[in-house]
Structure 1
């Protein structure tokens, strides 16, 4: 890490006035600043607050392609970072920059870390956030994967389906609850059985307002417009009878589903004609069936 010449001279002096500062930029554009100094600091148009209880472990850097390693620790303070914001994923993959600087002259500073927030752990009113360096992205797969199923996320740009159009969503209220992950929703309109399976449920009101959960199963209650739903994991906040929700249709990533349910076959992001494993390891046989199943 090269150091600014003025800052370098300051570090060589008998008495130094150094501290650390961090800037966090969330996906929604909100930018927050923190420092371990005992007074607020400001530079680059960012105010770095000293009253947040934030600390950070020193960055561990190495040569080669090793990933920089660090973490931030702090108290869940509603005026800075709240538990609710973490629950709703506002800090997932947020950009982080950390400086080592002279608090007496903030022009003397050095960028020590640049990366993103990884896994966040919460416990008894505090949080611990993993900081991932830029080299972390080199560990992520790039390019296309050849497989039968679609690789696009339903509703994303590469998919092209508009989930806000009529027929792909429905609003309603929770009418009964049978468990943390099982409940019934009364909606307007009639939809096919399992229409919302693998889709999403957005909570619009109540204690859990803003929460988004994935739908594991969806069954229409016979003779009514109610749906019996099961979600993969419980919402962070408790769902209650009367909460308003919005359901979005789901997709099982099959070509027929894309073509028939969404009329979107031209944008299918999979390879439905790729042979399966059974075909690739097939050997000559007198049987006409090469599905891998029993020939009896």
Structure 2
């Protein structure tokens, strides 16, 4: 434990480092002045406060809440609603603000559920042990459980991602300046905004036809013609698609020929 805990507690300050999935890193502190630590400026505004930190030596999931004020130039309501902070990596540590080079780690994890109320927000911190709450054994299903391009799928996506410019947009429907390589090639894929107000955000593609694609949800911010996007091909998880389109049946992670529960209800002559 750091020596500064043995001294006066008036020099104690909490610091948060937030690393968003789009590469943006921000630092905040509970101190009343900004602190420079490790080349990162930890801002005193918006003020952020942690709840009681619960840590265990067992396998129970550690949890903590982080609360703070909304600020247009730091954490805005629009960015929170758009999902820019979903899954952001968070590290909480304590420092002596008179000599902030020495840090005492307190908690780490990723942001979970974010709630907005008035001019403030609260977010749940999910620690590393939260991953133990996931299902251990996979359920059988006729569709593939692997992610296209993932280590279990092994399809190389290098030639299946393209950059395009937006021509027109209407709710979930987008028109691009490039056509799909095959029918519904981007259905089940991902669109990532590279330029424009939505830069850094991603969206799931439901279907594609020619130069048109349909997203699962409308963009968080109104897009403009000329915005650049990256589009990645998708897969409908069917065995016929895996073998016919990708030639990857050997890595199919589903059970398309396994009888379902309806087999138990069958009877002679039924």
Q: What is the match of residue 68 of structure 1?
A: 63
Kept in 2, the 8 Å contact 1:208–1:237? The answer is yes
TM-score by length of 1: 0.72
**What is the rounded CA distance, in whole Å, between the counterparts of 2:143 and 2:11 in structure 1?**
58
**What is the rounded CA distance, in whole Å, between the counterparts of 2:90 and 2:35 in structure 1?**
17
Structure 2, unaligned stretches of length 5 or more? none
Once the two structures are overlaid, the 10-residue window that deviates more, 263-272 or 69-78, is 69-78
Q: Secondary structure at the match of 2:158?
A: coil
Kept in 1, the 8 Å contact 2:168–2:176? The answer is yes
**1:180 Cα deviation from its structure 2 partner:** 1.0
Largest Rg, 1 or 2: 1
**What is the rounded CA distance, in whole Å, between the counterparts of 2:164 and 2:55 in structure 1?**
54
Kept in 1, the 8 Å contact 2:65–2:122? The answer is no
String of CA shifts for 1:183-232, please: whole Å, max 9, x gaps. 4444246532x332222233444443444321223334xxxxx43x3211
**What is the rounded CA distance, in whole Å, between the counterparts of 2:54 and 2:173 in structure 1?**
47
Q: Given the alignment, which residue of 206, 225, 232 partners 1:216?
A: 206
**1:122 Cα deviation from its structure 2 partner:** 5.6
Q: What is the match of residue 59 of structure 1?
A: 52
Q: What is the match of residue 180 of structure 1?
A: 171
Judging changes above 3 Å, is the alpha-carbon distance between structure 1 residues 50 and 201 closer, same or farther for their aligned structure 2 residues? closer
Q: What is the match of residue 98 of structure 2?
A: 104
String of CA shifts for 1:237-266, please: whole Å, max 9, x gaps. 212345444443221111111111111112
Q: Secondary structure at the match of 2:242?
A: helix
Q: What is the match of residue 276 of structure 1?
A: 260
Judging changes above 3 Å, is the alpha-carbon distance between structure 1 residues 69 and 256 closer, same or farther for their aligned structure 2 residues? same
* 1:286 and 2:268 correspond: yes
Q: Map 1:69-218; keep pairs closer than 5 Å.
A: 69-78=64-73, 80-81=74-75, 91-106=85-100, 110-121=104-115, 127-165=121-159, 168-169=160-161, 172-177=164-169, 179-188=170-179, 191-192=182-183, 194-218=184-208
String of CA shifts for 1:1-35, please: whole Å, max 9, x gaps. xxx37344325xxx743222222344566654321
Cα RMSD, aligned residues only: 3.5
Q: Secondary structure at the match of 2:13?
A: strand
Kept in 2, the 8 Å contact 1:52–1:75? The answer is no
Q: What is the match of residue 23 of structure 1?
A: 17
Judging changes above 3 Å, is the alpha-carbon distance between structure 1 residues 133 and 9 closer, same or farther for their aligned structure 2 residues? same
**What is the rounded CA distance, in whole Å, between the counterparts of 1:243 and 1:169 in structure 2?**
17
* 1:248 and 2:232 correspond: yes
Q: How many residues align structurally? A: 268
Q: What is the match of residue 10 of structure 1?
A: 7
Structure 1, unaligned stretches of length 5 or more? 221-225, 288-294
